[in-house]
Chain A
Amino acid sequence: MLKGKVYKHGANVDTDAIIPARYLNVSDPDELAKHCMEDTDADFVKKVKPGDIIMATTNFGCGSSREHAPLAIKAAGISCIIAKSFARIFFRNAINIGLPLLESNEAVANTKDGDTLEVDLSKGLIKNLTKGAEFKAKPYPGFMAEIIADGGLIEHTKKRISRRRA
């Protein structure tokens, strides 16, 4: 069960907003986390508490393929991201590294910045504790459910490789 305060954004939050390209000369998640969302909200890293949740409307994570983006968000302490939709590469990257993403139009429409949410990943349930409302996220498609069940792409691929060898 995940629980935290919501940081709400609008549409098309791009990967340069999540982690500016000028910091991509390192790949250590904790270093990257220091600059997470810096150009949008300079104090974000100071304010965010472990478990907090980022919420956005459509096309979250558009732009670059940099995995540094979900890595920075995860290392900053964010427990999951809820949006109406995600950019394709960001979606893969986040799932691959074990940062949960949930898509739910209703949850986004009925949640305000600062609300507290509780998320049950196994059931795909999003509870808005501030408002006392409950929403269901879209189920994960095809292979993605398998990757999540295996604990990320690396573990999933390890399994595939050992099956091939056998």
Chain B
Amino acid sequence: MTLAEKILAAHANKKRVSPGDFINVRVDLVMSNDVTAPIAIREFQKLGVKRVFDPQKVVMVPDHFVPNKDIASAEQAKLMREFARKQGIIYFEVGEMGIEHVLLPEQGLVLPGEVVIGADSHTCTYGALGAFATGMGSTDIAAAMATGDIWMKVPPTIKLVYNGKLEKWVGGKDLILHTIGDIGVDGALYSAIEFSGEVIESLSIDGRFTMANMAIEAGGKAGLFGVDNKTQLYVKSRAERPYLVYEPDGDAEYSRVIEYDVSAIEPQVALPHSPANSKPISKLKNIKINQVVIGSCTNGRLEDLRLAAHILKGNKVHPGVRCIVIPGSQQVYFDALIEGLIEIFVRVGAAVSTPTCGPCLGGHMGVLADGEKCVSTTNRNFVGRMGSPKSEVYLANPAVAAASAVMGKIASPEELLQRVKVNG
């Protein structure tokens, strides 16, 4: 069995499962946020159940529109907060919260071998730790909050193998953008992805989170990584419960195996309006920009901020650009502060925000006007995603985003370094 099948079989009390099987799966964590929880709560209340199945396995995170941007979003957050307190479930208030997919792994709430479902499509992020994690809608979450299980169809698994050596400035974001560009936004529809190969082994946990995060952008149900020493190191100090590690069998059956030689991959930029529109950065000429966003559940972790700060240090944000930096969690914010990264951001003329999804979904903290262009380290560039339907979002890694903020146009870190050399 593949990694996904192993975990699902264990959670369905079965010896074996095969793609296409319908199974009832025990869940280790059920998550929702300030956008999806209100509907989940409404539906939960229709079930006639008084208590959630296990308050230690239900979590709600206010992150999309917080600190609340308007009265309507404040009402939604209030409804969620009151439910969370009454039920005694896990809840993180503004001031201690983070973007759910940065926060939960960091808090040791998702662990290898677990099944996690969340009312948010990027729940697949936790696959980086070797968990089977998948996004669902609010009503599914409502049912699971009551029963502690959920039905699933066992997905076929696509194995992606990355070999070779990463070029400078190329990381998890570029690998996943390149992959989605290759297989398309429905390339992994209804499937689980298993990421593997020597490049993956050398990739940091933060880089793995970035890749697993965007499995959904290829239509995937989950994106899983094997558990290695790096995973154990990350998880050990945080784990809130015991966990089991699963490995794919040597004779596991994959619906597709795709191999990539990463040596030829440049930093990637996904052009509007699809994450599959990815192009090597050298192919883009003189695209002037109005805004840069560095943050989100894709690239709002410490490693991402370090990379951005490294590029920005000693430079100035271009006068035609608003550069917005959003640490993914309070912990990331704190670490970045202690390391001096926040000081760098403020000095170069970037706006630093408390953790929030904010501009990633066009909520607040950097909504785009008609005709504006933004380079963003987020995961979606659909029409209207960050504001006006006539605005454009270009997806890139934190180094490219930072270099672009300084250059005022989409630029590679190399281009910026060359300029600094010439002028310096």
Interaction A to B: yes
What is the size category of the interface that chain A forms with chain B?
35 or more
Stretch from B91-99, B136-144, B291-299 forming part of the interface with A: B136-144
Write out the residue numbers on chain A whose beta carbons fall within 8 Å of the beta carbon of B42: 27
Does the CB pair B76–A27 fall under 8 Å?
yes
How distant is B363 from chain A, measured CB to nearest CB, in Å? 7
Per-residue contact bits, chain A 14-34, to B (CB 8 Å; 1 contact, 0 not): 101100111011110000000
How long is the Cα–Cα vector from A58 to B146 in the complex, in angstroms? 33
How long is the Cα–Cα vector from A38 to B383 in the complex, in angstroms? 11
Whether A96 is near chain B, meaning CB under 8 Å from some CB there, is yes
Write out the residue numbers on chain A whose beta carbons fall within 8 Å of the beta carbon of B47: 154, 157-158, 161
How long is the Cα–Cα vector from A147 to B98 in the complex, in angstroms? 35
Option from B69, B119, B221, B382 in Cβ contact (under 8 Å) with A25: B69
How long is the Cα–Cα vector from A89 to B220 in the complex, in angstroms? 10
Option from B36, B49, B274, B385 in Cβ contact (under 8 Å) with A65: B36
Does the CB pair B65–A63 fall under 8 Å?
no
How long is the Cα–Cα vector from A140 to B219 in the complex, in angstroms? 20
Whether A142 is near chain B, meaning CB under 8 Å from some CB there, is yes
How long is the Cα–Cα vector from A20 to B387 in the complex, in angstroms? 9
Q: Is the interface of B mostly helix, strand, loop or mixed?
A: loop
Write out the residue numbers on chain A whose beta carbons fall within 8 Å of the beta carbon of B70: 25
Does the CB pair B36–A67 fall under 8 Å?
yes
Does the CB pair B22–A154 fall under 8 Å?
no
Write out the residue numbers on chain B whose beta carbons fall within 8 Å of the beta carbon of A143: 22, 151
How long is the Cα–Cα vector from A149 to B198 in the complex, in angstroms? 48
How distant is A153 from chain B, measured CB to nearest CB, in Å? 5
Whether B90 is near chain A, meaning CB under 8 Å from some CB there, is no
Whether A138 is near chain B, meaning CB under 8 Å from some CB there, is no
Option from B69, B382, B389 in Cβ contact (under 8 Å) with A14: B382
Option from B64, B140, B153 in Cβ contact (under 8 Å) with A141: B153
Does the CB pair A161–B146 fall under 8 Å?
yes
Whether A136 is near chain B, meaning CB under 8 Å from some CB there, is no
Write out the residue numbers on chain A whose beta carbons fall within 8 Å of the beta carbon of B48: 158, 161
Q: Given the known A-B contacts A21-B362, A26-B76, A59-B219, are A157 and B137 also in contact in the complex, defined by CB atoms under 8 Å?
A: no
Does the CB pair B35–A39 fall under 8 Å?
no
Known contacts A65-B121, A158-B48, then 18 further A-B pairs from the complex at CB < 8 Å, ordered by chain A residue: A24-B64, A25-B65, A25-B73, A27-B76, A39-B389, A40-B383, A62-B186, A63-B380, A65-B136, A85-B189, A88-B189, A92-B136, A93-B137, A141-B22, A141-B153, A142-B22, A153-B143, A160-B147
Residues of B within 8 A of A (CB): 22, 35-36, 38-39, 42-43, 46-49, 64-65, 69-70, 72-73, 76, 118-121, 123, 135-140, 142-143, 146-147, 151, 153, 185-186, 189-190, 219, 221, 274, 361-363, 367, 380, 382-385, 387, 389
Top 5 nearest A-B pairs (CB, nearest first) are A93-B137, A142-B22, A21-B361, A25-B73, A39-B389
